[in-house]
Amino acid sequence: MLGGLYGYLPPPSDEDKPTNTTTTVWSIFAPPQTILKPQSKPKTTQNSLPTRPHSSPAIAPSPDDVVALPQPALVDVTSTVIEEHDPARPNDYEDYRREKKKKEVDVEINRELERRRQEEEEREMREKGNLVSTPVSAQRVTRHQLPQHPKIKIILSFNPASPAFTLPLHSHSDTSAMDQEARNGELTHHVSKKPKLTRCISEAEIRDEFSHHQHGVARINNGSFGSCPKSVLADQQKWQLKFLQQPDDFYFNSLRKGILESRAAVKDLINADDVGEISLVDNATTAAAIVLQQIGRGFTEGRFHRNDTVLMLHCAFQAVKKSIQAYVTRAGGSVVEVQLPFPLASEEEIINEFKKGIEKGKKDGKMIRLAIIDHITSMPCVVIPVRKLVKICRDEGVDQVFVDAAHAMGSIKIDVKEIGADFYVSNLHKWFFCPPSVAFLYCRKSILSSDMHHPVVSHEFGNGLPIESAWIGTRDYSAQLVIPSAVTFVSRFEGGIDGIMQRNHEQALKMARMLANAWGTSLGSPPEICAAMVMVGLPSRLRVMGEDDALRLRGHLRVRFGVEVPIHYQAPKDDGQPQAGARDKDGIITGYARISHQVYNTLEDYEKFRDAVILLVEEGQLDVDSWEEFNGIA
Amino acid sequence: MDINGCDAKISDTHLPKKPKLSPTLISDTELESEFSHHVQNIARINNGSFGCCPKSVMSAQQKWQLEFLKQPDDFYFNRLKEGILQSRLVIKDLVNADHVDEISIVDNATTAAAIVLQSVAWDFIQGKFNKGDAAVMLHYAYGAVKKSVEAYVTRAGGYVIEVELPFPVNSVSEIISEFRRALERGKVNGRKVRLAVIDHVTSMPSVVIPVKELVKICREEGVDKVFVDAAHGIGCVDVDMKEIGADFYTSNLHKWFFCPPAAAFLYCRKSSEIDDLHHPVVSHEYGNGLAIESAWIGTRDYSAQLVVPKVLEFVNRFEGGIEGIKKRNHKAVVEMGEMLAKAWGTHLGSPPEMCSSMIMVGLPASLGISSDSVALKLRTHLRNSFSVEVPIYYRAPGDGVVNPVTGYARISHQVYNKPDDYYRFRDAINQLVNDKFTCELLS
């Protein structure tokens, strides 16, 4: 096929469908489409080609959505480009799935209607028998009457903006169940949304799942790098092997499907509207690059004014700060950092500081183009009231809101609709038991999303971020493919991931209090603004006097005591006074440990840490300079 | 394979830089065992698309993966950097670079292209290049690279010129003269040619491009930056940075150098501009040089980048190391290509000296390959019905050609291939022809 300068790439299952390339865009980002089921339309032809959009009026794109293939303006030659291994297109698979599910739903509808018709007939028969007139509201409903019935609308749309499928017939107990089933989306059958509680995982099984962890190390730092159980690792190795066994076949026939299933699992977990809102990327750092590159283009292409601002929290992750520097500052944007106090006494403090930051960002008529809000800050670690801050952003006219929730999934409840941000990223390898590395980036369906691109550009460029992200050249996609496996893993725990979160939170707090009591110090924030990580003050006599000391102490704890825990240095206020409440009997608390709790942790881990610190204090002579030196990350 | 049984020290992955030939060469049985995870009874004559990875390298990779999972903090602070440096040192020697700082390791050539093209985009945005200045690339450039040029260079105001290349190609001079013409076109109206993207081995159709000559022409014509996309480079053609003389050169290591997916190197010639190259995924290492930036782009699996020394050990079990492998692959693929062309009564897509370990073989015209999608269908049909894994290229016929060859198979040869693989392919096509099969039947 000629003409596609940048390569018309037919799908492997290509069945002569010229609009294919564009339907994907439609399928993900088009406005809601509600199409009345045509009168007397028979079941969708079973043998119709799955990807042919017009085979089903119910999901056919409107003409506006079928745009011509983009033709680059600035190129001389037009001719064919053929790639060796690209024609596979995940989006076709989505079309296919949509079509397939639609057929299933059609069958379901017809069955339901048939059933109701029979019920109505039976009732009429009964009523006739009883000589009772039929009430108007209980008019007999048949398939043929459906379209004309003023109150009956069958909405068949898989668009996120509308309820996936509603059957607002007269009340019937089954309707809501069906409704519910449909609302859960076309793909939910892959992953059991509710954890199945057959038999909970035993202590011994948990130990076995994490038996590859270094023995003799108190690993109370799940936050930095997460953990991955053996069962998920085994699944990952299966995927890796599958690729190596027959890569062409894997690429054409397994990869797209696998990634789609993972995305569908994420969609359900975070209450997104549509799987088209979910992209899988390596990590939160990659997601930040995607979002900030888009903002950067706003500046370089003149849509934003120079010095329009990006707002961020002072304690944002270092990589995010650097991304802002690379993409926003370089492109002429300015940055406002919101200073947060630490230790924190209440959520209010955060909200007040944030409001001040917004004022500062809007000074002199500047526009705030993006606010970046951590859901859980890394160092020091605090849960931020994102929902409230997002709302403030909306009220104050901030263009876009990006929630960096690197630590969120599996450690705090995520409901993207409730939070209401434009972009939300969370790693899955930190608290959701995935191997390194995989994260999801949620992009709320909006016009903006169409200019979101993965910085690594493949032949999928322009097919929407989820599709672009699903193929960024040959590489190992196995970590992205095991999300269903991680879902299975968490479902073995009482209460599923919610139960895990709850218990980790309780245990982390309990352990933090135990440590603070033993050391005569205090926690860095009130219990309600912690997740599965808590900041615990270290005895002032350890004299952590700077970032370097904190890093040395961390290394020393690893090497000498076998304790893995990150240490935070908190400078006193400018006037040399301690932050509120940050004092123990000997002086100002300047060092905090961030302890984590994950399912594999035991009381002994924390006792080991407790005793190590007590020993260091008792030894008195803290030979900081002899401690191991290294560079750091949290 | 067993995630349990990997307690062994990983020090064996830190290898001496200089290739050392093991006293005993790999035996046929060992070779078979190294690739015994490949699906059996498949004629896998498409190493070019996704490469291959022997078992010994896979198990080294799993050791690295486990090292991380065991105690990630320790791994991060005490092992990762050193491991990546070792890999970079191996590559530096292999490609004859001046300094290890010139070598960055990234996922694949696609990622490398994004890095280079983003820096070019900044040159346009920040006014160092004028809008409308030209970028030249081959018509047969890889699709992903073309898209990347569109996303970064065209969007930033660059004017893209494609160099039309003939196919089938008869001589190097055909390519050189087309390239010269494109540069001239680029300089029309006082425009400047800011960037040339040159493939070392084009993907589809596969032809070895005379990069050294083209780079030289670029220098003479004052092209600012020359980027060689050698996705198929290392292990497939001669890769000598000093001899080629490009500013940027990338090659995958998982295609022809036995790395697992995915690792590639990006060579950036030492110059002042190197400071302005950045990995698009920005971590706290931003500004510390591309090699360091690329070595940490957030928590992820770096194991594929860490096994390069182990791969070197693997290739050195073959006579002549990677050079020997390359030569034998080339010889074998030419032989097999000629055998197929003879059996089918067709021709090769390029003279033997213009191919590497891949060669294009014309398919019988009677198959009726009439479009890209038909070519793809044939590829699928060969996989499903004949267990042959080979990519097919559609070439539109020239005007007035009678009974033209419109389809070419790109066959590869790698150490695990046997003549039987190609005989199976030959027989499959012969059978299709005898059965009066045409691709129309596939729709």
Chain A residues in contact with B161 (beta carbon < 8 A):
75-77
Low-confidence ranges of chain A (pLDDT < 50): 1-93, 96, 131-193, 195, 626-634
Cβ contact A322–B286 (<8 Å): yes
Smallest CA–CA separation between B161 and chain A, in Å?
Answer: 6
Chain B residues in contact with A9 (beta carbon < 8 A):
143, 372
Mutate: best of A17, A49, A82, A441, partner B, most B CBs <10 A: A82
Smallest CA–CA separation between A113 and chain B, in Å?
Answer: 37
Chain A residues in contact with B392 (beta carbon < 8 A):
none
Pick from B51, B53, B144: CB nearest A473: B144
CB atoms within 10 A of CB B36: 11
Residue A102: what pLDDT?
Answer: 66
Chain A residues in contact with B260 (beta carbon < 8 A):
240, 244, 476
Between B183 and A79, where is the model more confident?
B183
CB atoms within 10 A of CB B98: 12
Cβ contact B373–A1 (<8 Å): yes
Q: Has residue B299 got a pLDDT over 70?
A: yes
Cβ contact A630–B37 (<8 Å): no
Pick from B1, B122, B391: CB nearest A84: B391
Residue B276: what pLDDT?
Answer: 87
Q: Rounded to 5, what percent of chain A is helix, strand, coil? A: 45, 10, 45
- For residue B265, the SS3 value is strand
Mutate: best of B69, B108, B275, B406, partner A, most A CBs <10 A: B69
Average pLDDT, integer, range B2-26:
52
Pick from A234, A284, A474: CB nearest B261: A474
Residue B297: what pLDDT?
Answer: 96
List the one residue out of B213, B234, B167 whose CA is nearest residue B410.
B167
Burial of A470 (0-12, 13-18, 19+ CB in 10 A): buried
Mutate: best of A456, A556, A609, partner B, most B CBs <10 A: A456
For strands A423-427 and A439-443, give the pairing.
antiparallel
Residue B21: what pLDDT?
Answer: 52
C-alpha triplet B36, B38, B43: angle, nearest 5°: 115
B12 near B309, Cβ under 8 Å? no
Cβ contact A474–B68 (<8 Å): no
Smallest CA–CA separation between A468 and chain B, in Å?
Answer: 11
Cβ contact B298–A237 (<8 Å): no
**First-to-final CA distance of chain B:** 42
Chain A residues in contact with B252 (beta carbon < 8 A):
474
Residue B10: what pLDDT?
Answer: 43
Pick from B76, B142, B282: CB nearest A289: B282
Cβ contact B118–A455 (<8 Å): yes
Smallest CA–CA separation between A404 and chain B, in Å?
Answer: 14
Between B104 and B12, where is the model more confident?
B104
Q: Has residue B153 got a pLDDT over 50?
A: yes
Residue A24: what pLDDT?
Answer: 35
> Dihedral through CA B408, CA B214, CA B233, CA B109, nearest 10?
-90
Q: Has residue B248 got a pLDDT over 50?
A: yes
Q: Has residue B308 got a pLDDT over 90?
A: yes
Minimum Cα–Cα distance from B115: chain A residue = A456
Smallest CA–CA separation between B69 and chain A, in Å?
Answer: 7
Pick from B70, B142, B304: CB nearest A213: B70
Residue A51: what pLDDT?
Answer: 41
Q: Which two tokens stand for residue A447?
A: 């016009």
Residue B291: what pLDDT?
Answer: 96
CB atoms within 10 A of CB B433: 17
pTM, 2 dp: 0.81
Q: Has residue B8 got a pLDDT over 50?
A: no
Chain B residues in contact with A82 (beta carbon < 8 A):
143, 204, 372, 375, 393-394
B169 near B207, Cβ under 8 Å? yes
A370 near A311, Cβ under 8 Å? yes
Cβ contact A476–B261 (<8 Å): yes
Distance CA A380, CA A384 (A): 12
Q: Can you give the three-state secondary structure of A97-113, one letter per residue? A: HHHHHHHHHHHHHHHHH
Between A90 and B25, where is the model more confident?
B25
Average pLDDT, integer, range B401-412:
91
Chain A residues in contact with B159 (beta carbon < 8 A):
74
Pick from A282, A436, A475: CB nearest B261: A475
Average confidence score pLDDT of chain B:
93
Q: Which two tokens stand for residue B400?
A: 């007035």
Cβ contact A474–B383 (<8 Å): no
Q: Has residue B398 got a pLDDT over 90?
A: no
Pick from B148, B203, B284: CB nearest A457: B148
Smallest CA–CA separation between A481 and chain B, in Å?
Answer: 14
Distance CA A384, CA A372 (A): 12
pLDDT digits (tens, 9 = 90+) for B59-98: 999 999 999 999 999 999 999 999 999 999 999 999 999 9
Q: Which two tokens stand for residue B15?
A: 């290898």
A89 near A460, Cβ under 8 Å? yes
Minimum Cα–Cα distance from A452: chain B residue = B151
A548 HSE (CA, 13 A, CB side): 5
Cβ contact B53–A244 (<8 Å): yes
Residue B442: what pLDDT?
Answer: 86
Chain B residues in contact with A459 (beta carbon < 8 A):
143-144, 147
Mutate: best of B120, B149, B152, B372, partner A, most A CBs <10 A: B372
Cβ contact B150–A461 (<8 Å): yes
Cβ contact A461–B147 (<8 Å): yes
Cβ contact B301–A9 (<8 Å): no
Smallest CA–CA separation between B433 and chain A, in Å?
Answer: 23
Smallest CA–CA separation between B265 and chain A, in Å?
Answer: 14
**First-to-final CA distance of chain A:** 52
* CB-defined contacts A:B, below 8 A: 283
